[in-house]
Chains A and B, each alone.
Chain A
Amino acid sequence: MPLLSLVIWLPILGGLAVLAASRHTTDANIRWMALAVSAVTFLVSLPLFFSFDSSTHEMQFVEMAAWIPTFNINYHLGVDGISMPLILLTAFSTIFVVAAGWEVIKERVAQYMAAFLIMEGMMIGVFAALDSVLFYIFWEAMLIPMFIVIGIWGGPRRVYATIKFFLYTFFGSVFLLIALIYLYFQADKSFAILDFHALKIGMEAQILIFLAFLIAFAVKVPMWPVHTWLPDAHVEAPTGGSVILAAIMLKLGAYGFVRFIMPIVPDASFELDWLIILMSLVAIVYIAFVALVQEDMKKLIAYSSIAHMGFVTLGFFMVFTIFEKTGSIQGAALGVEGALIQMVSHGFISGAMFLCVGVMYDRMHSRNISDYGGVTNTMPLFAAFMLFFAMANAGLPGTSGFVGEFMVILSAFQANFWYAFLAALTLIFGAAYTLWMIKRVLFGEIKNEKVAQLKDLNVREAAILGTLAAAVLILGLWPAPLIDVMHATVNNLLEHVVVSKL
């Protein structure tokens, strides 16, 4: 059974069906329909995990069909231990996005739901694509529903945010396309990503390709200093948009590093790894300070996302320093696997944090920290959840937020004491900005009349946050099953990247 095609096209066709049905049925039915599509997609994606063969690094669930034979472009899909967990994360998160928009979205319900379902299919397509043209098409196409979501259901400055988001990402994509076309000609007219991996490329070309890819992917992660679109996009996006943005879209950029940059241009990566490490460490330290002084909760969480994604890129690029220092890759897999876990975990935690802000925004129509205070007095259940996710965001052991950071710090220590030193500062700063916000929002006397009127979570909201809390806890207490699927792929990647392609 073409499982990957199913998880890509089921939500896309489902989204179109939702659009088509909107003329004939009520909004309530539309919501249930969208929820059903997202739930079925998630169920269909589960066999990817349970039938996954974790003993091999080869691509699995491969599908291959000629698409545009003139240019040797194929409909080529497959997953390995890096992409498979991200597909599951995408399918999982979309359910919450549909559920989160249940009551708030009152206008154009069908379009809203359809946008997210179609986006889901396309994002899964990005993770599953093994043909770079197919990848590129999904990569660009998924932005369209996102622009629409922010542009239509967004806040007052949504147009500025959308244009900024568009220009930033489009600026990056152009370089991606140029690099892919160059590689196509180098690889004897093949667009297959795996062919690119095997390709021998000269150093100068590698450097240029590296920079082109870096611009494309760094914007998406986003890495410092090309991060400023993210806070604006988050602030203006509706809750669902923020969740997808944080949980999945940022991961696409990071995914590009391990699918394209490291395996295709390993020598340039070796040469320029200091640049990535520098950008990552700046993201972790500099951004933490910036996050501290934010007055808008969504901005604060957006900045915290940037800092957390710094761990992802840092973890990926430890291998070169370690190899240079010790001549072996021992200790590097810890960094890469930690980074991958961090991606999944950040998906849960940042998604949950944005949902928490959404819960408050729906009631108070404000994201300003100063408008809140003493929320726990009127919403104790909600406060318990938010505090839990905040602790996870601060990397408390026992939650998923700890696992990735711990592994990356361990790996960074093997590369260089000071990398670990700077990265570990997040223990202090992450707690400072997250818990200071918690203090001002949740604790204290009831600040004003509006807070006094707040109603605690309803069943739907409690179910959403409860499920995410369970995911955060399970991944934190027992990450082994998820990490086990990555070993073969990650080891193969690391062995590959330390061999010169000159």
Chain B
Amino acid sequence: MKGIYLIIALAPMIGAVIAGFFGSRIGRTATHLATTAGVAVSFLCSLVVFKHIVLDGSAPFNGAIYTWLVSDGFRFEIGFLIDELTTLMMMVVTFVSLMVHIYTIGYMKDDPGYQRFFCYISLFTFSMLMLVMSNNFLQLFFGWEAVGLVSYLLIGFWHKRESAIYANLKAFLVNRVGDFGFLLGIAAVAMYFNSLDYADVFAAAPLMADVTIQIIPGYDWSLLTVICILLFIGAMGKSAQVPLHVWLPDSMEGPTPISALIHAATMVTAGIFLVARMSPMYELSEVALSFVLIIGAVTALFMGLLGLVQNDIKRVVAYSTLSQLGYMTVALGASAYAAGVFHLMTHAFFKALLFLAAGSVIIAMHHEQDIRKMGGLKKYMPITYWTALIGSLALIGFPGTSGFFSKDAIIEAVHASTIPGASFAYAAVLIGVFITALYSFRMFFLVFHGKERMDDHTREHLRESPWVVTGPLILLAIPSLLIGYMTIGDMLFGNYFGDSIVVHESRDVLAQIGAGFTTAGGFMLHGLLTPAFWFAMAGLGTAWYIYLQRPELAGFFKEQCLPLFKLLDRNYGCDEFNDKVFAAGSRKLGKVLSDTGDAKIIDGFIVNGSANTIGWLASVARFTQTGYLYHYAFVMILGLVGLLTLFVMV
């Protein structure tokens, strides 16, 4: 099977190489055919692997491809671990990527950077696959940074826009802050486990449960807690958890297809995947789990609130992504890894769908993204409308949709969890449900219903997007609607994940919930009785009332809570803080070190100072060498007198 894994990873790479090096020569059609074919091959092969590993129940594959380097007893290898978790990720990544490739044919058709764009998204698919298929920390880090690179390239795809190149630099640097922690975590693993192989590390982890280390002398910290938190800092960067979330809203500067693929469905969920993959380690540290839980809860609630005040269609979806990533993180913290990954999967479908639908709207609106200038689009764009409705319902967790099953499972899991922070997290995710429903349908109603607020020129040209755009919407709407119902039994309460996820018995909240689980239908009926459902309905109802029935109310509330509104509009001041303290502070410090440290002290005082001192000494010495004979004679006589005096005295 090794061959097929290589094909899965390399097929998009080959597509990227063709598009990157020969794109301009072979033309647009050949470029999108080559890259799309590459990803399609990956997807089909992933289906084969899915059948092999999951349906046939074959043993997971864990093997090396080649040895990167050997040094000092460490053997760093590039290799694959293909188990149930990986297979799921491969399916999600290749499927969404394939949809986005097809969609891009329509979305980017007038862009001069067409070939470059296809090169990047195929390269991204390759990197993401390397990330999820890795069997060791090193390759994980490879993929991790590689997806960051492609994200950088794609956010800044329209490189003439100042806002885009500001956003991509910001994204890369904020991610690097996360990677800084991640790399230290890897270094800690290397030191204490003497290996970077998942299998070795996970096998040895229980033996390390009681090991403590001193980072600050005098304070004993559990080794695994330190490692898990350091690794999680990496996850916080990539999965945009507070306070490293600041890059994701700005990343919307990139073209919409990549917002769907990278900044919603796949790359940003890498952090969730990471923690799920490392569950054998996280399970040994309750402190780390609590940390994960609280960060996730804060992100889920407070990032959702920001979605309420956005007027840019993509930004609303972006903040909803942040909030949903918070939900997944909460699930991880509550040891409901399966629920986190389950939500990752359903979210990948419905959020990619929502982004692509937003893109479809943006095409129709001639690249107008302000939802205040839309309205009533339902009758012009029926396919986009219905698919967006499915996406929005899934996002708010409407019973029956995929999002309902995954989100409800998370809320129930947090409810059942007893680790420190769980009650706060429960409250946060419940309120979050209301907020999610409110901003999602605020956007939905403002875009598709109500008064047509666009100008006449735009209105005349409004029409449904071509099939390459609507086709992927429909194909994504199907799993957004159904996949939760179909798979919840196996994924959450069955044995889908096998040994790929480890949960400590005392914390196995999913098993507790699962005790009462019979069928997906039953789970749904039960869901109707939980507060989460009513919170969602309340949010939906509020949105309906405010934005369709009494539009003047929105303005009224804004007037009443202006300070709060401003706080939200400014992202709690996070951006300003980073700009003023970190960016400006670093520049200021650099200036001081450069002008004072290097120029004044080292060069001015020591280097040129020495040269000047020597110059001064020389100028003094020059006085003694006047060239007048009587000066020399005079000095000689003085010396003679001096010496004679000395002899006489002694």
Chain A interface residues toward B at CB < 8 A: 164, 167-168, 225, 228-229, 286, 289-294, 330-334, 337-338, 374, 376-377, 391, 396-398, 402-403, 406-407, 409-414, 417-418, 420-421, 424-425, 427-428, 431-432, 435-436, 439, 442-445, 477-480, 483-484, 487
* B177-185, B281-289, B556-564 - the one binding chain A: B177-185
Assembly CA distance A397 to B137 (angstroms): 12
Q: Can you report 15 A-B residue pairs in the complex whose CB atoms are below 8 A from each other?
A: A168-B607, A228-B598, A229-B607, A290-B597, A292-B586, A330-B72, A397-B142, A397-B146, A398-B146, A407-B71, A417-B215, A418-B215, A477-B68, A479-B69, A487-B71
A409 and B187 contacting across the interface, CB-CB below 8 Å: yes
- The docked-state distance in angstroms from the alpha carbon of A43 to that of B68 is 26
Inter-subunit contact B590/A483 (CB<8 Å): no
Question: Given the complex of chains A and B, what is the CA–CA distance between A291 and B603 in angstroms?
Answer: 16
Q: Is B165 an interface residue (CB 8 A)?
A: yes
* B70 and A410 form a contact (CB under 8 A): no
| Residue B190 lies at the interface, judged by CB distance under 8 Å to chain A | yes
Chain B positions within 8 Å of A436 at CB level: 169
Query: Is B454 an interface residue when CB atoms closer than 8 A count as contact?
Result: no
A164-B607, A443-B156 known; 9 new pairs, CB 8 Å cut-off, are A289-B589, A290-B594, A337-B72, A397-B141, A421-B184, A424-B180, A439-B169, A444-B165, A483-B69
Q: Which partner residue on chain A sits nearest B24 by CB separation?
A: A380
| Inter-chain contact B597/A286, CB cutoff 8 Å | yes
Interface centre among B68, B72, B159, B187 (most CB of A within 10 A): B72
How far, in Å, is A423 (CB) from chain B's closest CB? 10
Q: A286-B593, A414-B191, A427-B176 are known contacts. Are A332 and B586 too (CB-CB below 8 A)?
A: no
- Check A289–B73 contact: CB distance below 8 A: no
Chain B neighbourhood of A377, CB < 8 A: 159-160
Whole-angstrom distance between the Cβ of B172 and the nearest chain A Cβ: 6
Measured between beta carbons, the chain B residues less than 8 angstroms from A409 are 183-184, 187
Contact status A483-B589, CB under 8 Å = no
**Given A337-B71, A480-B67, A480-B68, residue A435 in contact with residue B190 (CB < 8 A):** no
CA A412 to CA B183, docked complex, whole Å: 12
Per the bound structure, the CA–CA distance linking A294 and B599 in Å amounts to: 12
Set A228, A286, A427, A443: member contacting B183, Cβ < 8 A: A427
Contacting residues, chain B, for A424 (C-beta < 8 A): 180, 183-184, 187
10 closest A-B pairs (Cβ-Cβ)?
A413-B187, A293-B590, A333-B72, A289-B590, A292-B590, A443-B165, A334-B72, A443-B159, A397-B142, A480-B69
Tell me the count of chain B residues lying within 8 A, CB to CB, of chain A: 52
Q: B188 an interface residue at 8 Å Cβ cutoff?
A: yes
Report yes or no: B598 in contact with A290, Cβ–Cβ below 8 A.
yes
Is A445 touching B160 in the complex (CB atoms < 8 A)?
yes
Residue of B66, B602, B611 near A228 (CB, 8 A) is: B602
Chain A proximity of B132: nearest CB distance (Å): 16
Is B69's CB under 8 angstroms from A403's CB? yes
- B145 adjacent to chain A (CB < 8 Å): yes
B70 touches A398 (CB 8 A): no
Residues of A within 8 A of B603 (CB): 228
Which of A292, A337, A418 has the most chain B CB atoms inside 10 A of its CB? A292
- The interface residues of chain B lying within 8 Å CB-to-CB of A421 are 184
Of A402, A403, A410, A436, most B-chain CB atoms within 10 Å: A410
Residue B591 interfacial (CB < 8 Å): yes
Chain A CB within 10 A, most for which of B69, B180, B190, B593 = B69
Residue of A nearest to B116 (CB): A380
Q: CA–CA, A432 to B172, complex, Å?
A: 9
Complex-state Cα separation, A334 to B76, whole angstroms: 12
Of the candidates B71, B169, B187, B191, the one having the most CB atoms from chain A within 10 angstroms of its own CB is B71
Residue of chain B at shortest CB distance from A429: B586
- Interface residue ranges, B against A (CB under 8 Å): 66-74, 141-142, 144-146, 149, 152, 156, 159-160, 162, 165-166, 169, 172-173, 176-177, 179-180, 183-184, 186-188, 190-191, 213, 215, 586-587, 589-591, 593-594, 597-598, 602-603, 606-607, 611
CA distance A443 to B186 in the complex (A): 34
Is the pair A427, B597 in contact by a Cβ cutoff of 8 Å? Answer: no
B72 lies within 8 A of A374 (CB) = no
Pick the contact of B190: A290, A293, A410 (CB < 8 A). A410
B270 shortest CB reach to chain A, Å: 14
Contacts of A414 in B (CB 8 A): 191
- Known interface pairs A164-B607, A293-B594, A397-B145; A376-B72 also in contact (CB < 8 Å): no
Q: How far is the CA of A477 from the CA of B141 in the complex (A)?
A: 13
A286 and B586 alpha carbons, distance in the complex (Å): 11
Residues of A contacting B: mostly: helix
When A167-B611, A337-B72 are in contact, do A292 and B587 touch as well, CB less than 8 Å?
Answer: yes
Query: Which of A403, A443, A478 has most B Cβ within 10 Å?
Result: A443
Contact A428 B162 (CB under 8 A): no
In the complex, how many angstroms separate the beta carbon of B229 from the nearest chain A beta carbon? 13
A487 to B191: give the CA distance in the assembly, Å: 19
Q: Is the CB of A435 within 8 A of B183?
A: no
Task: Out of B141, B160, B179, name the residue touching A374 (CB < 8 Å).
Answer: B160
Q: Is A478 touching B66 in the complex (CB atoms < 8 A)?
A: yes
Residues of B close to A413: CB separation below 8 A: 184, 187-188, 190-191
Cβ of B177: which chain A residues have Cβ within 8 Å of it?
428
CB <8 Å contact, A427 and B179 = yes
Q: Are A289 and B586 in contact (CB-based, < 8 A)?
A: yes
In the complex, what residues of A have CB within 8 A of residue B162's CB?
Answer: 444-445
Contacts of B145 in A (CB 8 A): 396-398, 402
Q: How far is the CA of A330 from the CA of B69 in the complex (A)?
A: 17
Q: Which of A292, A391, A428 has the most CB of B within 10 A?
A: A428
Query: Chain B contacts of A293 at CB under 8 A?
Result: 587, 590-591, 594
Residues in chain A near residue B70, CB distance under 8 A: 480, 483-484, 487
* CA of A377 to CA of B161, assembled, Å: 12
**Docked pose: A164 CA to B611 CA in angstroms:** 10
* Distance, CA A435 to CA B174, complexed state (A): 13
Residues of B within 8 A of A445 (CB): 160, 162
Provide the residues of chain B in CB contact with A406, threshold 8 Å.
Answer: 183
Nearest neighbor of A480 in chain B, beta-carbon distance: B69
Q: B73 to chain A: closest CB distance in Å?
A: 7
- A410 vs B190: C-alpha distance when bound (angstroms): 7
Contacts of A286 in B (CB 8 A): 593, 597
Report yes or no: B159 in contact with A444, Cβ–Cβ below 8 A: yes
Residues in chain B near residue A480, CB distance under 8 A: 67-70
A294 touching B68 in the complex, CB below 8 Å, given contacts A424-B180, A439-B169:
no
Contact partners of A403 in chain B: CB under 8 A: 69
- The complex places the Cα of A292 from the Cα of B169 at a distance, in Å, of 14
Please, which residues of chain B bring their CB within 8 A of the CB of A168? 607
Given A330-B73, A444-B160, A487-B71; A431-B187 close (CB under 8 Å): no
Q: How far is the CB of B644 from chain A (nearest CB, A)?
A: 39
Assembled-state Cα–Cα distance A291/B591 (Å): 9
Query: How far is A228 from B177 in the complex, measured between Cα atoms in Å?
Result: 29
Q: Are A333 and B184 in contact (CB under 8 A)?
A: no
Q: Is the pair B165, A398 in contact by a Cβ cutoff of 8 Å?
A: no
Q: In whole angstroms, what is the CA distance A257 to B159 when docked?
A: 44
Contact A435 B188 (CB under 8 A): no
Q: Is the CB of A398 within 8 A of B142?
A: yes
Inter-chain contact B172/A435, CB cutoff 8 Å: yes
If the complex has contacts A480-B69, A480-B70, are A290 and B593 also in contact, measured as CB distance less than 8 A? yes
What is the CB-to-nearest-CB distance from B450 to chain A, in angstroms, rounded to a whole number? 38
Q: How far is the CA of A409 from the CA of B72 in the complex (A)?
A: 14
B71 to chain A, nearest CB (A): 5
Report the bound CA distance from A432 to B74 in whole Å.
31
B66 lies within 8 A of A331 (CB): no
By a CB distance below 8 angstroms, the chain A residues around B67 are 480
Bound CA–CA A176/B593 (angstroms): 30
How far apart sit A421 and B159, CA to CA, in the bound complex (Å)?
A: 34
If A289-B590, A427-B179, A431-B176 touch, whether A334 touches B74 (CB-CB below 8 Å) is: yes
A244 to chain B, nearest CB (A): 23
Contacts A444-B160, A479-B68 given; indicate if A439 touches B165 (C-beta within 8 A).
yes
User: Taking A376-B159, A444-B160, A444-B162 as contacts, is the C-beta distance between A332 and B180 under 8 angstroms?
Assistant: no
